[in-house]
A and B are shown apart, each in its own frame.
Chain A
Amino acid sequence: MHESAMTLESLRPAIAEISLGLAICVVLMADVFAGASRKYVTPLLTLVALAACAWLTVTVGAVQDRTVLFDGLYVADRLSVFLKLAGFLSVGLALFYSQPYLERRGIQGGEYQVLALTALLGICVLASANSLLTVYLGIELLSLSLYALVAFDRDSGVAAEAAIKYFVLGAIASGTLLYGMSMLYGLTGTLNLDKLATVSAAHGAGFVIAVTFIVVAVAFKFGAVPFHMWVPDVYSGAPVSVALLVSTAPKIASFALVARLLVYGLGADPALWVQILTVLAVLSLLAGNFIAIAQTSIRRMLAYSAIANVGFILLGFITADPSGYRAALAYTLVYVLTTLGSFGVVLLAARSDGEAEELDDFKGLGTRDPLLAVLMMALMFSTAGVPPFAGFWAKLWIIQSLLHTQHVWLAALAVLASVVGAYYYLRVIWFMYFDAGREQTLIVRQPLTRGALTLNVLAVAGLGVMPNVLLALCTSLMG
């Protein structure tokens, strides 16, 4: 660990944020000058910019050792580089899948891409946060962009409602986070996570209360029960493309938040947050899985499924053991990859007379659109945790880390909850294959998007057969 003086050379590890910031400016300007007649410019430029940023992050920004910049505000290590790349990929894919939808719904506008990029910038900042201030900065940058995106379809009443709910609840969560942080500062006199990590033993009730406030905010950002109220509303109220965005890359940010803030910054005494996270995880697993059964809307079902999956990710953290952190990282990555696919299918399953909103809309998809149905089936089996798909290994690894740390009952609860979960994932397959469709309406054909989606699902299946790639990666990152 070394702190270097501020030179241009020393900014290299922060190339991801710098290049992304520049890209945002370029895209914003390009959109203005491209005008209404050349609508393809902004989306295309955004994807090119993302690829360029990712390339710069790999070539220029790669770090071998932990490097601290900006007076300890910012840290670059292999984990941060990787999380940023994952963020680039997931936002890039999300935008790519969304493009036909945006055109169809007439909600194209350069602001959409720009907001997605600023959200991504927030994720990058979070991934490299080494101070409470940076954490807060990242969270707000991400959240504010997402609030605006949820309300992006300004003619939609439900979207506006979802955005208001998300904003108000999110603002409260930011408030508790800030409150907890200010208490921590008052008690320890530092905002720096390196220094916080060394303050451990001598804490009293104030410390506990501060951490509790912080965990509440973390739970909100993750969407864990009982701070999950915004999740179903945002997933079902926002435009589908935004739901796709909200449900994927921000989960990487939430992982980074817990990894930086709790595991690293407050990691000297994990007992401070393990108990609360345990309660949150158990509630999320139970409530998420059971409520999802009752859903008739595919998006609300995916929302409750997200809540249940967050429960699984949190289970990885409560082990307070590197094996659990690795498992949580693997689970997050697999979840993001799978959710990109399933929301991608929802986007493509639109009929000529409307979007696929209800589970009923999937009836007969197996005959109407065999490729899409097969992809969705693989994704559902993966999320249910059935081999040979990646979701199985993600769950297996979490359960193994729980058993490794003697949490036998939590492991049993987790697997039983996933049996409950299997029911509603299977129901999607049942609707697609076992039921006849209501009508034979046209499906939007998008060969490029379909191709990308197929690759996405092949990755889920490939990681399911050869999970060692993922496991080795997570082991090296969370060593």
Chain B
Amino acid sequence: MLHGFDILSLLIWLPVGGGVAVLAIGDTRARLARWVALLVALATFVLCVPLWLEFDTTTAAFQYLERLSWINQLHADYYLGVDGISLPLIVLTAFMTVPVIIAGWSVVEKRPAQYYAAFLILEGLMIGVFSALDALLFYFFWEAMLIPMFLIIGIWGGPRRVYATLKFFLYTFLGSVLMLVALIFLYLKAGDYTIAGFQSLPLTLAEQRWIFLAFLVAFAVKVPMWPVHTWLPDAHVEAPTGGSVILAAIMLKMGGYGLLRFSLPITPDASRELDWLVIGLSLIAVVYIGFVALMQSDMKKLIAYSSVAHMGFVTLGAFLAFDIQGSTGALRGAINGLDGAMVQMISHGLISGALFLCIGVMYDRLHSREISAYGGVINVMPKFGAFMVLFALANSGLPGTSGFVGEFLVILAAFKANVWFAFLAATTLILGAAYTLWLVKRVIFGPIANDHVAAMQDLNGREFLVLAMLAVAVLALGLWPAPLVRTMEATVQHLLQQLAVSKIPVA
């Protein structure tokens, strides 16, 4: 309770209610619907300001707690709160929805009110996922979130949208249901659904292994990790620009969030035993998917694969702790890995979102995502070219941008764990630069490729505003990551302590 109102509930239900209102306004009054949607998105973001400012960074305890009895029979509560891990992700969610609404402003002509409503409802549900402290409430939001995304890709997507959206839904659903079985199993042992209760529940190694694997399937699909990433390129290519942005910026982060909130603290011993699995898959994602990205001819697909590679850093950073303890004898050094994972999530959210918006800007003009259709865009769109180059450099990890911070921290941690991990992870600096800069070279620079490109108009005010917002965020986080790192410091320390203590009951 802050200022006498429940700020987290407001953050969840304001966008959901706003979405319903926009739906009620209807497509016939699209102008009004747009403005209401923007106001709701802005109001939600503004609400994050006091949330961030009054957050106590000195404690790992959950803050802004709200608890209402929800389902007595299942001992599940409407229980909300944030800590240093979820707060930045909530702010990111509220932040990214604003450019998505603005980016759709004059572009979305098909059922516009429903489009904005879907994004607002999605925003509320995503904030719900990050702030739920009750596992059943978490799962409730986690699954409900699929509905708006399914519709966004299916209704406003490209030619193969049906295939893409069904693949997206079924992949995620398949991953999630096994997690549900694991959550119910934990509930039957713990007696209620609070995540904190799950975290302090003693579990045998065999139980932990099964639970860990069930969680891993759910979160690996969301992240997505190799080899369950195949839904992502399809979904990204077919999704409308806004859908791609939210998918890349927020939805993928839920996998990483799940690993930090569920897998590591609930099954620390199984995580320790099976960390090779996650590290191995992460390194494959970083290296192999990096090569795959190099070969793409579709811009959105390239960024999608780049997302898989970058999210590999998140999963890598999260699971390095045990190897660091093995090689240095202490868990202390592992903080870089976890910090890096978190920074990488936020940073990737901004950068990939920005790149998808850039592609959207080009697509709106030329209606093609093929790299070969472009060339020399900077000659006709200098302002746009500058933004695109900035985001591309950030994507390849240029110091001074947010992309650098996360990757650097993770590689630093990887060195402490195993030099070879660091070596493989560091190939991303080459591969990432290769596929991103090659993309920029082919699309932005060079002579003007054809008449269509020559006819392209530079950014209008709306597009400039959207990209400028993101550029400022990317640079700010790159030059001064301290506020972000400080916000999550206490929570990450607490997480490390949880990892250090075995949960296997002493016989």
Contact = CB atoms under 8 A, between A and B. Distances in A.
Given A403-B181, A422-B169, A433-B151, A392 B143 contact: yes
Nearest to B72: A468
26 contacts: A381-B147, A386-B173, A387-B139, A387-B144, A396-B180, A399-B184, A400-B74, A403-B184, A408-B181, A408-B185, A411-B181, A412-B178, A415-B180, A415-B181, A416-B177, A418-B177, A419-B173, A423-B166, A426-B150, A429-B151, A433-B155, A434-B155, A467-B71, A468-B70, A471-B71, A475-B73
Nearest to A392: B143
Given A387-B140, A387-B144, A426 B71 contact: no
A404 interface: yes
Kindly name the residue among B173, B174, B178, B188 whose own CB sees the greatest number of chain A CB atoms within 10 A. Answer: B173
Contacts of A433: 151, 154-155
Interface class of chain B by DSSP: helix
Closest 10 CB pairs of A and B: A415-B177, A471-B73, A434-B154, A468-B71, A387-B140, A419-B174, A387-B144, A400-B184, A387-B143, A434-B162
Nearest to B177: A415
Interface of A: 381, 386-388, 392, 396, 399-400, 403-404, 408, 411-412, 415-416, 418-419, 422-423, 426, 429-430, 433-435, 467-468, 471-472, 475
Given A404-B188, A467-B71, A468-B70, A386 B181 contact: no
A371 B155 CA distance: 17
Contacts of A475: 73
B161 interface: yes
Tell which of A387, A403, A423 has the most Cβ of chain B within 10 Å. A387
A423 B174 CA distance: 11
Which of B144, B162, B177, B185 has most chain A Cβ within 10 Å?
B177
A399 B147 CA distance: 22
B170 A419 contact: yes
B30 to A, nearest CB: 15
Given A434-B162, A467-B71, A386 B155 contact: no
Interface string B121-163: 0000000000000000001100110110011001100000110
A287 B228 CA distance: 27
A381 B169 CA distance: 12
A388 B121 CA distance: 13
B144 A468 contact: no
A376 to B, nearest CB: 13
Contacts of A472: 72-73
B116 interface: no
A422 B170 contact: yes
B180 A399 contact: yes
B417 to A, nearest CB: 34
B212 interface: no
A163 B140 CA distance: 43
Contacts of A423: 166, 170
B187 interface: yes
A289 B149 CA distance: 24
B147 A400 contact: no
Interface in B156-209: 161-162, 165-166, 169-170, 173-174, 177-178, 180-181, 184-185, 187-188
Nearest to B73: A471
A408 B214 CA distance: 13
B143 A386 contact: yes
B155 A426 contact: no
Nearest to B174: A419
A426 B187 contact: no
A387 B144 CA distance: 5
Contacts of B187: 400
B223 to A, nearest CB: 19
Interface string B66-87: 0000111110000000000000
B180 A426 contact: no
Given A416-B177, A434-B162, A468-B72, A396 B144 contact: no
